[in-house]
Amino acid sequence: MKNPLLTVVAALVLSACATTPAADDPVLIKLADLERRLQGIERVVQNQSLVKLTQQVNATERRGDEMQGRVEELEYRSESALDRQRQLYGDLDTRMQELEASVQAQNATSSRTQTQGQFPVPSGSARDNYQAAFELLKEQNYGPAASAFEQFLATFPDSELADNAQYWLAEAHYVTQQFDLALSEFEVVIGSFPESRKVPDALLKIGYCNYELERWEDARESLTRVQAQYAESTAARLAGQRIQRMDEEGV
């Protein structure tokens, strides 16, 4: 059996709810307040997330700027090092050119002096001047040496050293790779001094000159002649080595 009092209270509550406007309803007011507070908290949280994200972006940008600065510094240092190397190589090249020009000028001066008829030992004997010319050759002053031997041969054509002087004159041209000129001077040794001990060596060098000039048949003919006529000489052994080389090269 229902309680009459509870029934009356429930009816009053329902009647009150039905007659109370929504704007004045305390429950709705409370809910609206909670909603506003919740939205405020969400905005704070969102703002804090945005701040952190902004800070992270800024930090990343700063690190990127630092890395860019380091890269630019390394590039500058590298370019500076390359510039210093280029400058060093340029200075070295300039100094080498100046030195080469100075040496060439000295050789040209010495050559002109020799050609004008001045001996290495102006007041010396034939042997003194031959020895002086030979010393120039040993010191690798090939231009002055050649001029000195030419002057020696012009002044002392009947000297017992003339055959040697002719051979070393040809040799001075050979070592400077003037093979045509050397070839003609070696041929003078054979033609003018057929009994000289320098003939086997001169004939060998004729073969060498023809080899350098790619005159293969002439080279082989001279080298074979050395082997045939001077079989026991050092020149014959060297001739055989050059012939073997030519065989291997197929020339």
- Tokens read off for 8: 């009356």
Comparing 12-26, 33-47, 124-138, 187-201, which segment has the lowest mean pLDDT?
12-26
Q: What pLDDT band is residue 201 in, cutting at 50, 70 and 90?
A: very high
Average pLDDT over residues 9-13: 48
Nearest one of 178, 244, 183, 233 to 208, comparing CA atoms: 183
What DSSP string describes 129-162? HHHHHHHHHHTT-HHHHHHHHHHHHHH-TT-TTH
Question: pLDDT value at position 105?
Answer: 47
Q: What is the pLDDT of residues 56-114, one digit of tens each?
A: 877 776 676 556 655 655 655 565 566 566 566 566 566 656 655 554 545 544 444 44
25 secondary structure, DSSP code: -
Q: What pLDDT band is residue 9 in, cutting at 50, 70 and 90?
A: very low
Question: pLDDT value at position 22?
Answer: 57
CA distance 173 to 193: 19
The share of the chain scoring above pLDDT 70, in percent, equals 64
Q: Tally Cβ neighbours within 10 Å of residue 121.
A: 15
Question: pLDDT value at position 80?
Answer: 54
118 secondary structure, DSSP code: -
> What sign results for the dihedral spanned by CA atoms 182, 183, 187, 188?
negative
CA distance 181 to 173: 7
Comparing 46-55, 75-84, 122-131, 200-209, which segment has the lowest mean pLDDT?
75-84
Q: What is the pLDDT of residues 138-191, one digit of tens each?
A: 999 999 999 999 999 999 999 999 999 999 999 999 999 999 999 999 999 999
Q: What is the mean pLDDT of the chain?
A: 80
Question: pLDDT value at position 83?
Answer: 59
196 secondary structure, DSSP code: S
Average pLDDT over residues 36-46: 79
Question: pLDDT value at position 72?
Answer: 55
Comparing 32-41, 206-215, 232-241, which segment has the lowest mean pLDDT?
32-41
> What sign results for the dihedral spanned by CA atoms 248, 240, 183, 144?
positive
Q: What pLDDT band is residue 36 in, cutting at 50, 70 and 90?
A: confident
Question: pLDDT value at position 34?
Answer: 81
CA distance 103 to 92: 16
246 has pLDDT over 50 = yes
CA distance 136 to 141: 5
Question: pLDDT value at position 73?
Answer: 57
Question: Which 3 state secondary structure label does DSSP give 215?
Answer: coil
CA distance 222 to 234: 15
- Tokens read off for 136: 């120039």
Q: Tally Cβ neighbours within 10 Å of residue 87.
A: 10
